[in-house]
Structures are given as structure tokens and as C-alpha cells.
Amino acid sequence: MRIPPVQFSAVSRALHVLRVLGVAVLLPAALPAQQSDSSTMQKAYEQRRTELLQDLQQTQDSLGSLRSQRVRLESHIDNVLAQSTEQRAQQLLISGDLNALLQLDAVLAQAQENMTAQRDRMTALGDAVRKRSGAVLVVLFRADSAPDGAVTALELAIDNTGAATRTYSPTMATALHQGAVDELYNAEMLPTVHTVEAKATMGGQPLTAALNVQTAANMVTYVQFSAKDGKVTSSTWTSQGTTP
């Protein structure tokens, strides 16, 4: 028996409807699985990021401990060398042994070179750790709200260590008054809390402003000090990336 063409068309339409319904049923079932995979990847990323930041913090703590030990060791070595050298030099001067004096001088020169090399290695290690973090700190100073020529000097300290010193000539002070911004500091830092302090001389009076700022990985953190109304104020902001 021959089926009319119209019936073939109806069957085709029915099969097409079934296929569409099948896809519609499968898609909602696949979406939760995709969302679950995305959530898992996000949790893994956050966990890995936290681990890396903890590693950086531990490295910073270790570097601080090593620096303290190095300073104590250098001080002890200097004291011992000074005492032994003085005693040995006195003995040699009395005996008139010039060759021994020259040998002693060579030993001291070699010891100084070794200590300098050790210091350079420590500095290089610290720089490598800071570059790995991708955290940048930029410190700015402006005085456009202060009287012309009021600000004559400024000192910047970061983590209780001198970072910059400025003495403003009348021309530079005028430029600041007219809106110029002085970049005091721009360097890579470990992603942790840092103490930033500015001491400005304004109208012959010393003024101080300090704050604790958190630097973050792969971020540029800005600290701006402003002289106005007879005091120094501070503000902060951040931007994504490692280039100011």
C-alpha cells in the first residue's frame, strides 16, 4: 500500500518536533554541570592565589629574619676583626715585620669583599621576591592648595626607612603651587601592609602625616600627600596592572 506524500510530510514534522524537544530537555541538564565546573575552577584559583600570597609573606618574614641575623653577624665579625687586627698590628709594628702586615691587609680586604658579595646576594634575592609579587607602590606629593613657596622641604620614609628627600627651590615651590605633582617613590613591593610617612616643612614648621597602606599582587597602589590648610593630608587609590 502506498502512503500519500502528505503523510510523509506529517511524519517528518513530528520527528523534527521530537528532536527539538530532546535538545531542550538535554540543555537544562548540561547547564548545572557547566556551572559546577566553573565554580570548582574559581575555588581552585582562589585557593592557589591564597597559597601564593602566604608563600610570599613567609618569604618576606624569612628575609627579615635573615637580614637581622646578617646584621648581627656582620657586627660581631667587625668587632672580632677590629680587636684581632689591632692586636696583630701592634705586635707586627713592634717586630717590624712588613710582610706580615701586608698579608694581614690582604686578609682584611678579602673579608670585606666577601661581606659585600653576601650583601649583594641578599639584595638580589629581595628584588626577585618583590618582582614576583607584581605589587607596585607609588607615592606622590602636591601643594597646589598651599601658599606659594610655603613648602620648602620634604622627607619620605617607608617602613621606617628613608625613601626620598626633597629640598624645594623657590622655582620648584612655585611649580607645586601651580599644580605640579612630585613623584617621590615608585617601586615594586611585597604584597603586605607598609607604613608610609611624609615629613614636610611648610612655613618653617615641620608637619607630619603617616598611614598604613596595603599593597596587592598585580596592582599599583597610590599614596598622595597634599599640603593645604596648614597641614599635610593623605589619600590612596589603586589601579589594575603593574605599570603606573
Give the best-scoring range by mean pLDDT among 59-68, 87-96, 122-131. Answer: 59-68
DSSP states of 162-193 as a string?
Answer: EEEEEE--HHHHHHHHTT-EEEEEEEEE-SSE
Between the alpha carbon of residue 136 and those of residues 43, 159, 227, the distances in Å are: 26, 15, 24
pLDDT category of residue 21 using cuts at 50, 70 and 90: very low
Give the per-residue pLDDT at 242: 59
The span from the CA of 95 to the CA of 194, in Å, is: 56
Write out pLDDT tens, residues 70-92: 777 777 777 777 777 777 666 66
Mean pLDDT of 127-131: 61
CA 194 to chain centre: 9
Give the per-residue pLDDT at 42: 78
Is 120 a residue whose pLDDT tops 80? Answer: no
Give the per-residue pLDDT at 48: 79
Q: What is the mean pLDDT of the chain?
A: 77
Give the per-residue pLDDT at 111: 75
Is 5 a residue whose pLDDT tops 80? Answer: no
Query: What does pTM read for this prediction?
Result: 0.51
Write out pLDDT tens, residues 197-218: 999 998 889 999 999 999 988 8
Residue of higher predicted confidence among 18 and 109: 109
